[in-house]
Amino acid sequence: MAVGQATAVAPANIAFVKYWGVQDAALTLPYNESISMNLDRCLTTTSVQFDSGLETDEVVLKLHGQNELVAAGRPLERVVAQLDRVRSLANVQSRARVRSTNNFPSDAGIASSAAAFAALTTAAATALGLQLSDQELSVLTRRSGSGSACRSIPSGFVHWRNDGTDQGSYAGSVAPPTHWALADVVAVVDPGVKSVTSADNHRLVATSPYFAVRLQEVAGRVDQALTAIRDRDLGQLGIICEGDAVSMHVVAMTAQPPTFYWNAGTMAVIHALRRWRNEGLFGYFTIDAGPNVHVICDQRAAAEMDNRLRSLPEVQFTIVNGPGPGARVIEAGASAMRAEGSRQE
């Protein structure tokens, strides 16, 4: 039943084996499968309210530490295009009011667009009464263009499967959040906006002479990561995380034009982790399309790791995450639609 209005929360996720490179940009089909963990502390909350009285979609973004802004240009187009996909499935024409709030810095290597499109798709599908399985919702979310958003739908530890078809490219849970008390301590070294979006680089991968080698490696890494998660083997997962992060950034640094996401703070954290491991504190880096470093460690070591990371002059602040649930609806109802609608007059 279409309730007209819904609010969903979705987590950012950190990939142990990265999505890097889009094989089919129209369908957002990746070159390779990937493995991730949803983060329990990095969340986007999105309300979607369909209203037949609206002439256009209205999108308000409240990013971390910034004032509300009315979306325009490319960000608005991407939201509208995703709403169109949901409307098309529901056979609905109404435009929508969208309000989205992030509790963590955007566009700095924490996958904010993943959380945003997972929350948007979940809220919109619920508001329009679509009865979708997690798998169908993941497919629909993937098609937003933020491919890794599909990994923010299922819970805990996640495997984005891909057989090269639209229906066969979706994320599913391989273990719930309670399976493994793992931590991701995000060391934010620069919360600024990066100058090359990951979307651009997903299209540039084929210009790197190293991309073919990455593809040869990555299938094996997916299997190894699944085994490491099953066995709760931090040392093995750490080798996979670091090797895959380096491999992804190798492709970025050797693409035409090259992108250097790493900065001074990135290298400071990498070298600190390597020193600390020699001292018996085990944390392993992974890095998304930005300079911040995600430090994967045991939750029992997270407080000490967090203290040490915050002591580095290059680290501005940290966010300590455990594994978290996937996207979920936190509120839905036709009454809200009317209430919001009346305010609009």
Contact flag: residue 20 with a second copy (CB under 8 A): no
Task: Kindly state the smallest distance separating residue 66's Cβ from a second copy, in Å.
Answer: 24
Q: How far apart are CA 1 and CA 5, in angstroms?
A: 11
CB of 31 to a second copy, least distance (A): 16
Nearer to a second copy, 264 or 330 (CB): 264
Question: Which CB, 111 or 252, lies closer to a second copy?
Answer: 252
Q: Which is nearer to a second copy, 306 or 314 (CB)?
A: 314
d(CA 240, CA 119) in angstroms, rounded, equals 29
Go through the chain and tell me how many residues it has.
345
Contacts (CB under 8 A) with a second copy, residues 229-258: 242-243, 246-247, 250, 253-254, 258
Nearest to 39 by CA among 179, 159, 157, 173: 157
Site for a second copy in 206-225 (CB under 8 A): 209-210, 212-213, 216-217
**Using CA atoms, how far apart are residues 265 and 192, in angstroms rounded to an integer?**
13
CB of 128 to a second copy, least distance (A): 45
- Report 268-297 residues binding a second copy (CB under 8 A): 268, 270-271, 274
Binding to a second copy in span 182-211, by CB under 8 A = 209-210
Question: Of 25 and 212, which CB lies nearer to a second copy in the complex structure?
Answer: 212
Q: Coil, strand or helix: which one is 44?
A: strand
CA–CA separation, 182 and 215 (whole Å): 27
Contact call for residues 37 and 14 (beta carbons, < 8 A): yes
Q: Binding mask 295-324 vs a second copy (x if CB under 8 A, - otherwise)? A: -------------------x----------
d(C-alpha 171, C-alpha 317), whole Å? 31
Residue choice 11, 238, 265, 322 for contact with a second copy (CB under 8 A): 265
SS3 20: coil
Burial of 53 (0-12, 13-18, 19+ CB in 10 A): exposed
Residues 34, 154: Cα–Cα separation, whole Å: 14
- 212/339 with CB nearer a second copy: 212
Q: Could you list the residues that contact a second copy (CB under 8 A)?
A: 209-210, 212-213, 216-217, 242-243, 246-247, 250, 253-254, 258, 260, 262-268, 270-271, 274, 314
